[in-house]
Every structure is written in structure tokens, then in C-alpha cells.
Structure 1
Amino acid sequence: MQSDRTIEANFSLREEIKAYWSARAATFDLSPGHEIFSEDERSAWHELIGKKLGRGEGRRALDLASGTGVISHLMDDLGYSVTGIDWSESMLTLARAKAASRGRSIRFHLGDAENTMEADDSYDVIVTRHLVWTLVDPSACFREWLRVLKPGGKLLIIDGDFVNTSVAEKLVIRLAALLEKTGLVKTQAPHAPAAASDTHRSILSRVHFSGGARVDAVCRLLDEAGFSPVTSDTDLRQIHKAQASHLGYFKAVARGLQHRYAIVAEKQPR
């Protein structure tokens, strides 16, 4: 059982995470890998989601930590009836404006991905992107998501290990830095200010997956929470290839070397 001190520390960390993403909201869609900048990338995402979850055909989808609604729009494209929840009002304001400008009927509301307040057995699919690495208590969170899914429903997690850097990735980063310093390649603009990067590192050092959200560890926790079967896919090359022209050559190569994955976890039918 958690002590009062642990609960207080977890609450403080969760508030820091909330504040961090609220502060990032205004520039969130400027970053390749957040918003989608080409039809090739949109098609690659459609292919991935369609392969893992199938076409929507009016089925209910919950986009957890929906941010500005990038994944929500992809789900809407595929025919899902989409609800997005996020705990940042700043993100939600942008998400609602984007949906209105595109004539979409996606519903966005304030909510906590770790305590959704949604009814039991209420969604056919749940989707998350780059949320799991931020979780303070993933085991409890996964049990919550299992509760919200309908029997036979599927959870799609798109995430990665943003802590551990392979030797090959380190070499690419160092080469890029050297070439930028000598002026042989154009310096890539940072996707976040230095202060935000410092906050990101501080948060990352204190979440559950502070050592990196490796696919096997996430799958094991999903299995322990009651999902079955749980399958994973580390081949996201089509998406990374489509993002390359907007990331810059070296950043695109480095991203392709990272440990990123898609996990599908199912709730057994009754």
C-alpha cells in the first residue's frame, strides 16, 4: 500500500507532467512527429491503424491524452466515432479549434488518462501515442483501460524508449552535431526550448519507465493487467520514412534507430 508521502510525490509529479504539456501546447503541432505534414505520412498512419484495429464503421474509439487531436483525426478518417480526452485545457482548446476548422465531429473533453471516469465496457478501441512513458502507475492505468474497453475490444499503444540511445544512434547524433558546427549541414531548429528540455529530462527521471519504456516490459504489464493476447510490432519504418523530409536527414536516421513500437492488447470476450 502506498504511503501518504509516496501518494503526495506521485501527485506532484503528475501535476508537473500536466503543466509541461500545457506549456508545450502552443508549439506542439510545429514538431514533425507530432502533427502530420504530408499525405504520405497520413497514409502510413492510416495503414498502421487499419492493420492493427481495422476500419471504424462507426465503432467507438477513445483517444487517451489526445493533445491537439492528431491521432483523433486519423481515427475519424477511418470511420471511428472518436472521443479524445486530455488533462490540459490548452491542448483541448487547440484540439477543438482544429476539429471545427476541418468540419469534424470529434468530441474532446477534460479527463485523466489514468482515471478516465468513463463507463465500464464503453469503447470498442482505445488508442494512445507517446503516453505510456509518462505514466506514474502503469499497472493501475492498464487495469483502468481494460475496464473501459468492451469485451473483445482492442488497445493500441504507440510509444518508445526515449531514454536509452544505441551506439549507432549516438554516432549519427555526433556526426550531425559535427557537420552543423562546421557549417556543412544546416542546423536543425530545436522542437522545444532549452528550459522545456530540462523539464522533460527531470520528469523522465521520475516516472515508472525512467529506465526506458521497452516493449517487453510494457507487454508484460499489460498481460498482468488482464489483457490477452498482447502482440507487438517494432517495424514503424513506413511512418519514419514519410516523416524524413520534415525531420532532416540525420534526425530521420536517428529516429529510425530508436526503439519505437506499436502494441495491440485485447480484452477477452465474455
Structure 2
Amino acid sequence: MNTGAAAGHNFGLRDEIKTYWSARAATFDQSPGHEIFSEEERQAWHNLIIRHLARGEGRHALDLACGTGVISHLMDDLGYKVTGLDWAEPMLERARAKAKTRGRAIEFRIADAENTMEPDESYDVVVTRHLVWTLVDPRQAFAEWLRVLKPGGTLLVVDGDFVNLSMAERVVKTAAELLQQLGLTKADQVPAPAGMAEIHNRILSQVHFSEGARAADVAALIQNSGFANVTVDTDLKAIHRAQSKHLSYLKGLSRGLQHRYAIVARKPLRDL
């Protein structure tokens, strides 16, 4: 794939990230862990959201880096009035088409998650899934998310460390790759366009969490950005168990071993 960077143009890291996710849009929903593949998984996500955010009851939620709208729809299921932002137009096209097909009143707009251009204190909830590990400047992003939340509003981050593997993960990953090379199992993920793995690795080497987004490090940055009551939830077993049913045995086992988590934080109330 020929990028502006390769051509010598003024093509920066943010542009490359945008281009990468735009190219991934066509097959994004076909991979387990992206779209919801079962009612069991949908309920597991609902339970996680209710546990930390409660039901929406008309409250306003901002879904950052919404992609094809998977989390936006889960929030809509639970009674939130949802706005989804993403800077990859092909992702948004699929999100809008999905919402139209399902009859959902979700607004999707193009915007940068690190500079949303949304009004101050306009959302009760901000939610992200698998965004933080890609951030170029997480301090700026967290400050931006704090700005758009109403006092007392809640941030929910669902993410993981996809760089540092435990010994168990490495063994399982190696075995899964070997079985796939021998033709004994099929790939769980839809093949990405040619050259995408190289672009992914180049992006990863330049983002803030290039050495892995550990929950404790992310939580510390969130707290230092002005959030309060920051907590880490690593009990995502129900979601991983539901997803594993659509993966090969070893890939499903690996999913459960990964360092994945939810971080919840609140914007402090104003002093009276």
C-alpha cells in the first residue's frame, strides 16, 4: 500500500492511523471481538455497561472512535442517547447504514477523539473501546474527555495490553500459529488487505503506549488528568467466554489470557 509517508508527502502519524482504520472498515465487523456475534455476548456487554454506568434513561453518551457503531448500539439498547465519533469515514458509513437498518436514532459524526470539538460539559457518559492503546497523546485526550463530560459524569474505557504477552499467552499463540500453518485450523480473523500488518506495526511503534497499555499506567494518566474515583475492572470473563465460542479453541483460550480491562472514572462535581 502506498502511503503519503512513503511518497514523501507531509503525511504524519495521525494521518496514517486514519488511513489504516479506513482500510480496515470493509471487513471490521467480520471478526469475533469486533461485532457482536451472539446474544450471550450482547448480554455480557450489557452487564458490564450497567455495572459501571447504569441504564441510560435518556442520558447523553459519547462513543469515541466508534468504528462501525458496535458500542454505540449497545449503549442505545440500554436507553442512552448516543453520539458516535470516528475519524475514518468508511467506518462511519457502515455505522450509519447499520443504524438505519436497525431503526436506531444514533448520530454519527466525523471527529478526532483527541480533539472532539464537542461543547463543554455536554455528555453524561464517555465510552471508548480499544482506543487508548492507539492514542498519540493520551494526556491531551483524557483532558478533552474530561472537558466534554458534565460534572459527575462517567468515563468508561475498555482496552488491553496487546503488546506484552505472558508466558502462557506466548505458548498458546505459538501453538495456534503452528496449527494454522499446518492447515489443521483456519484463521479466526478475516485477512487484512496486503501490507496492513506492516502499517500496523509501524503505527504501534510510534504511539504513546508502544510498549503496551497496562491498566495501572492508563489509570494513573486518567487520574492525573483530573478524573476522580478511578477504578480498574479486569473481570471481563463473560465477554471473553462468549467471544471464544466463535474462535478456534486456542485463540479462544488466548483471548481469556490477555491483559484486558475496563477503567471507570468520574469527573468531580463542582465545589459549591
> What TM-score bracket applies, with the shorter chain setting the length?
over 0.9
TM-score by length of 2: 0.93
Q: Aligned runs of 1:1-270 on 2, under 5 Å?
A: 12-183=12-183, 185-193=184-192, 195-270=195-270
Q: Matches of 1:218 and 1:240 in 2, distance apart?
A: 21
The RMSD of aligned alpha carbons is: 1.4
CA distance in 2, matches of 1:17, 1:45: 27
Counterpart-to-counterpart distance in 2, 1:203 and 1:182: 30
**CA offsets, 1:203-258, max 9 Å, x none?**
11110000100001101101110000100011111000000111221111111111
Q: 2: distance between equivalents of 1:35 and 1:180?
A: 23
Give % identity. Answer: 65
Contact 2:115 2:141 in 1 (8 A): yes
Conservation of the 8 A alpha-carbon contact between 2:125 and 2:154: yes
Q: Deviations over 1:74-130 (max 9, x none)?
A: 000000000001111111111000000000000001111000111111000000000
Whole-angstrom CA distance in 2 between matches of 1:223 and 1:146: 11
Deviation of 1:192 (Å): 3.6
**Residues 177-209 of structure 1, C-alpha deviation per residue, up to 9 Å, x if partnerless?**
3333445x4222543435212211111111000
- 1:229 aligns to what SS in structure 2? strand
Query: What is the TM-score of this pair, normalised by structure 1?
Result: 0.93
Distance, in Å, in 2 between the alignment partners of 1:146 and 1:122 is 11
**Equivalent-residue separation in structure 2 for 1:176 and 1:23 (angstroms):** 26
Amino acid at match of 2:74: L
Unaligned runs of 5+ in 2: 1-9
Q: In structure 2, the residue corresponding to 1:211 is in which secondary structure? A: coil
